Amino acid sequence: MILVIDIGNTNIVLGVYKEQKLVHHWRISTDKSRTMDEYAVIVRSFFNLSKFSFNDIHGAIISSVVPPVTPILEMMVEKYFSVTPLSVGPGIKTGLSIAYDNPREIGADRIVNAIAGFNKYGGPLVIVDFGTATTFCAISQKGEYLGGAIAPGIGISTEALFQRASKLPRVEIVKPKSIIGKNTVNGMQAGIYYGFCGQVDRIVELMQEELGGQAKIVATGGLAELIAGDSKKIEVIDPFLTLEGLIIIYEKNRH
């Protein structure tokens, strides 16, 4: 079995693959103060619930956009799983051509998503990832990573609104019954929900034009399903796109 780990700013997603099939997956909050051993305790509890052991793992790969946490998880894997994990970064084989001013600036998760997306859906392709930031990645028909757009994520935008406007409460991010809110909470939910649906559709529309009009639109990330409900552009919701990209990269680099 292969352990795949995606370290994001808000969450860490872990998955276990057996013969190219995702058999288990978990999500925990990213905490820079946790030690290697504390992460191991959490992961062991997941494994125990799924009735298998650390000894079942014979390989691992990690992608990360949180540099302080990366070595902690790498050491945890080495100590408790007795394997040296691959880390997505410079020097690793991806099979992806990157047409970007400075490839080192691209978040590992965006590269991993692009590899999985092109492998599954072909190109041209736009991948919308609803994470701490909302990222839009464009992949050409030939499989080139062309670049994209980065917008503030739904969660941090909502939190900023609550923190900076004294009379506005913290609200749940849900689809409101009406765009015309009858109270403050409904009004905020309407603005947040439909505002982000509009943002996604407009950015995707412009990217499709630049890509020639035929690009497939795939969404992933925690709030993909919610926003896709009223997006006119999102065609596919693929919640495990990042994990699939990691197992593809692992297979390319295992020998």
| Positions marked active-site | 109
Q: What CA–CA distance (Å, rounded) separates 182 from 113?
A: 40
Q: Per the structure block, which two tokens stand in for 113?
A: 């998503």
- Please, what is the end-to-end C-alpha distance for the chain in angstroms? 16
Q: Per the structure block, which two tokens stand in for 143?
A: 């499989």
DSSP bridge partners of 4:
15, 61
Q: CA separation (Å) from 47 to 26, 52, 93?
A: 10, 6, 29
